[in-house]
Amino acid sequence: MLLNSVSKIGTTLGCILIVTIFLLENSFGQNIETPVSDGQSIPAQFVDSPAPPVEIISIEKASFSRAEYLYRAGRFAEAKIVYEKFIEENPKDKNIDRAVFRLGQIDFNDKFYVTSLKYFNYLLENFPGTPVLHKALVLMGACNFYLDKLEDAERVFESELKLNPDDKERVKILFFLGKIHEKKFDYDRAIKRLSQVYKNGLDSELKEQTLQTTKKIIDERLSKEKLFSLVQKYRESFPADLALWKLITIFRLEKDIESYIGALTQFVETFPKHNLQPEAMRMLALARNNNNMKAVRIGAILPLTGKRAITGQQVLQGIQLAFNNLSSEEKARIELIVKDSGSGAIDRGLEELAADPNVLGVLGPVLSGNVKKAVPLLEKYDLPALTPTASSSGLTDLSPYIFRNAMTRPIQSRFLAEYAVNTLGLRRFVVFYPDANFGQEFKDAFLEEVEALGAEVVAAVSYKRSQNDFKPQILEIGGISDSQLKKLTLKKLAESENKAKSKGSVPFSKPIIEQGLFNEDKIEGLKVSLELSYDAIFIPGFYDKVSLIIPQMVFYNIDQVTFLGTNGWNHADLIKVAGRYIKGKGIFSDGFFKESKKEEVQQFVSRFKTTFGDEPNILSAQAYDSAQIFLSIAQTNVKNRLEFFKRLKTIEEFLGASGTTTLTENGDAEKKLFALKIKGKKIVEKE
């Protein structure tokens, strides 16, 4: 490189030549170099805070003071031009070294670390006595760090740690050394340096960065033995508090009650002014008041008061029924702890459950919004939660600790698509869906599953929820009234064509002559039907609109296809209004059917009626199955919630009152639901 071969400036001509070539090289290089960005931010302490501009300065004649003004005003691009021009025009000026330093600083601030290093190297080679020597060296070390040249960075920082006279600069150096050791997986040395920063650093931002870096190492990288060692080594100072708190978390996960209480006691006594002191005292009091230290507990967080109290009660009944199935010996060992979330704030009740090491997992929350609110606490305490009711999409993606056993729209869509293709042998589909978020979700999931099964959706047509007349949409998918069908048939006969096309190029329907007596130019007894180019129509609406849609479809001769629907169809009024049109042609799904002949459903319904004197609904059934899943794991003598969490991820083909459930990799459920149909004046399960 040119700069490495440059000797000290001797003559004025040499100085001008060298500096000019250097600046030309780097002014062009700066424009094409891509800023280095590895996700790490430059500590604010390395960037000068620009002062607000107070005047407009001309840069026609370059001067160091003008360049300094622009730099401190935050106008770095302009400042760089003036610094370069100043160096070119004033090669003997006493501020040349400071100008070169500023150029390196500007590139550093812009994350052009390669060219920044070139400036600093030039500065050190040609101005070894510069008053900004140590600042330049610290920035050189930082450049090497961000360029991942860890050995070079460490060498510079270790030297500066001994020679740099500025206490604040040495604290920054310690921080970088800690980060370097972290990157090199030398966690002992990293924590040593970071603890020195935390102890001596006065800058709040740097102190917070140090805290978060140290916490990440302790939480994610160190073994239990290393944590014990840190507590012994640092005793009452940072980061012994972080190490001890991590041990408390581990003991809770391992259900090591004795060690858990001991670590909490040590924390309370050793760090009386710590911000976690109140939380530690609450956890300690709860643990000490625990009368049955050997018990296994299942928590439930439900709305038992307020607007959602009825829903909460229905869920609780399902959970209680599952616990009633336990033997007396199992009831003595496995406890149910219920907390009310009816006030809307679930944090307090959930944290009481989470802080108890004996609680293996939580059933709930019931509402999707509360599941989202629960995420921080679930992750803080490594607590698995299985919601039996929350149906919003994407919930289980929020945290690995969220599981769900509830019928969702995608579950229904996938079930119906799989049933239609694999059981009924249908291949071509139309989706007739409400123009609403839920309708779009049903449509998208059904389309995806049908295509995955090698079948085809030939059309997707939406309708407004305010509609009662669906003629435009029905005509769009090939529907034709009787009179129009006959007219079309006669016209096609006259044209020697027997084909009718809908809008576009897809032939959705065509008239078929079933019978007729042709007598010269007359046709007597003409009977025509409509042949459709698809096998089924998926209508994911509610019974009130479906009761209007299907009779209108039949009126327009769409009567030789299978109608597919969701649980919104499962209502007695559908039978009254549209039963005769759907009978034998309609199949819909639901997540619970109390008249099912399946043994697990009959047992659940019978026990529920006997216990509560009432009919169960889908919420009670899903809650019952969720509790049964939890109990099936608890009965295997799992030692702690960590083992419980791992076992929960292995649930497959669980037979329950709400169908067959498998918990997938992301915690959501795949369920085999109930296929229902209308028979006579009743809804029955499809054989």
Residue 10's alpha-carbon distances to 87, 92, 94, 195, 353, in angstroms, are 16, 11, 15, 47, 77
> How does pLDDT run across 6-17, given as a tens digit for each residue?
333 333 323 433
d(CA 176, CA 138): 10
Through-space distance between the first and last CA atoms of the chain, rounded to whole angstroms: 82
Confidence (pLDDT) at 26: 41
Q: Which residues contact 541 (CB under 8 A, 6 or more apart)?
A: 433, 434, 439, 549, 565, 566, 568
Confidence (pLDDT) at 48: 53
> How does pLDDT run across 647-663, given as a tens digit for each residue?
999 999 999 999 999 99
Within 10 angstroms of residue 37's Cβ, the number of other Cβ atoms is 10
The answer to whether residue 450 scores a pLDDT higher than 80 is yes
Confidence (pLDDT) at 483: 78
More confident residue, 510 or 583: 583
Confidence (pLDDT) at 5: 32
Q: Which residues contact 385 (CB under 8 A, 6 or more apart)?
A: 301, 361, 362, 363, 364, 365, 371, 374, 378, 401, 402, 403
More confident residue, 34 or 275: 275
Give the burial string for 85-104 (b: 16+ CB within 10 Å, else e). Answer: bbbeebbeeebbbbbbbbbb
What percent of the chain stands above pLDDT 90?
79
The answer to whether residue 68 scores a pLDDT higher than 80 is yes
What percent of the chain stands above pLDDT 70?
84
312, 302 Cβ separation under 8 angstroms: yes
Regarding beta strands 402-404 and 385-387, do their DSSP bridges make them parallel or antiparallel, or are they unpaired?
parallel
Confidence (pLDDT) at 7: 33
